[in-house]
Structure 1
Amino acid sequence: MSSEVYDCIVIGAGIQGSCTAYHLAQKNQKTLLLEQFVLPHSRGSSHGQTRIIRKAYDEDFYIRMMEESYELWAQLEREAGVKLFSRTGLLVMGPEDGKKFQLLKASLQRNKVPSTVLERHEFSQHIPNVNLAAGDGALVDTTAGVLYADRALRAAQMVFQAHGGVIKDGQKVVNVQPGTVVTVTTGSDVYTARSVVITAGPWANTVLSHTGLELPLRVVKVNVCYWKEKVPGTYSISRHFPCFIQLNPKEAEHDIYGLPSNEYPGLMKVCYHMGSVTDPDERDRQPDRVEVVGRYIRRCFPGLVPEPAVVEGCLYTGTPDRNFVLDRHPTFRNIVIGAGFSGHGFKFGPVVGKVLCELAMGQVPSYDLSPFSIQRFQDHQKSAL
């Protein structure tokens, strides 16, 4: 058993845990970051080279958090000396009269997010090699772009260590014993801390079970698909092709999103924003479901071969309302939880890390966290009775 008592132990070294640890170390908190797998790994939700970063949300609270998240990503870029972001814009397409498209459009205008509405007659001039579906509107969040995910994760961990933080990987947590000092037992050691932050992604409920808490989290495996450009460079980041989100595609009940070709030269990342329910420890046994995206590509992206060239896996851990969990444990106030990032949390990493750090240090959080409370699940259950 380690004799030293840490100020905080963070369980889970994905982007949320790594950013939390980074903020704690910046505040001179003696911090230990534990990870069950050997780093780097591709078993969870934070691997892969790219993610979309955007302010295009229909909830004001997400837009406000993203304002600061952009600033904090830029700060991490400067500290790490690594480029983490390329601005490409985000093209949003969807039924013009549909609720989702109208809510998003109104939200961008209300929050004064720099954006452009593309009229149908000018669409192909601005966005070549994309067929805008009949009845669809289009707008561009011009602040958006591509986050270099693997690079961002490494940067947060590197700066955390530069501030004196300790990372121990290959340390699967097997018990969390609450108390004034929390005891965290792994397969090979025992650690103690005045506070603990649990950011265990798909394994959140596994870790929380030791504290008598279960959250309504659903883990799904999503297929991350890359599609070959018929003419290399057609949809490339170097030609300033934007990221995109297709709301309410004709082919499916969930959105489809994509990023310009970058990490695999000549291949564009286009994915269905949903997957099959899975056990995170059995994820490799899940079947691949890519035909929905193939049908969409055949209709809307004529410059791509409609058969995936590469299919990788990623796990989403979702809540019923797709909002995060950022809260203290209802019984043990020195145990803090960040969970349920629902496939859209990576871009929030630095601001989520800041908030979880504040909770762990007993400070008043920078944001109203009521949309992210654990209590909302109990309230919903009561209202459903």
Structure 2
Amino acid sequence: MLTVEKITFEAFVEESSACDVAMPLEQTQIWADYQQTIDGRKPWGVLAVLDQGEPVAMLSLIEYQTHGYRYLRSAHGPVWFIVPNPGVERNAVRAIREYVHRADSGIVFVRLDLWTDTGTHPVLSTVPYDTTVVVDLAGGADAILERMRKRGRRDVRKALRESAAVCADETNRAVEDFSEYYSIMVDTAHRDGFMPAPLMDYVDMMEALGHEHCRVFAARIKGRVVAWLMVTIYEGCAVYYYACASADAMSNLVPDKLIYTMMCDLGNEGCVSVDLMGVGSDFAPSLHALTTFKSKFAQETTPVAPARDVPVRKSMYRALAAAKSVRSIWRNITSLLQYRER
């Protein structure tokens, strides 16, 4: 029987090091402190899942308060110290849910990254993914290029030959004044049909994580920013969090030159990999538009455990799911009526 107990971040780090298991940045005290700066979020606690007293997994949980209810999120968690079979994972999920219910009955659900779907539900919000692209940064610029797919090597070489963009780490410049970078994100959002986060969300992330854990790389043509990307870094592993580019930059292979510059620079600093964070699959078809670009930078894609919701207050969760369904139906009806009026 699996049990759960509250622990400290120090114990989490000690166990991860002893088991030689990489901790994602999102599971660290650094990330918890950053989340505390965001309205409606705060660290809830760190838990250990135990099998006869021995830890099999640990996870950091962040509390979210939104629309009058509270839930917990463990991004890239649980962190496993064993290779869990479906039965072990199901038992761990049950133990976590029961612990949270006893400790804080106001929590409606817990969002975890899980391989199993037993006892879980598709997430109420955000777009989870079960496939990503992880690029090996070892060996220098030539080695990074040679490990790409054929079309990746072709596009990067063409970008290096023909693009007039100057690409560099501009983290310090971005922290001082992010307005020029943000305008590119706004243009990208309008073009691709999404709502950009407020400008200060990006600035707060850079300031809270610091240069050691968060970088901005930008591409400029004639001194003007035309594309940028943001990565996080922890223990030699980088994660590609945000990216945007002007329409002209997209058509001139500027993103290829920019992402290759980032990979080479981080590789030279000692980073061993960069996770490009999600591509399309049968599980996440809405992300297929990202697949063509991201997948060319590595020979293979990498499966990952997607985010799933674990209801704690089941009746409340059913009500939230029903409300989401009604909103979705209403949006479809509205879209159909607007189409017919054209």
Scaled by the length of structure 2, the TM-score of the pair is 0.30
Scaled by the length of structure 1, the TM-score of the pair is 0.28
Higher helix residue share: 2
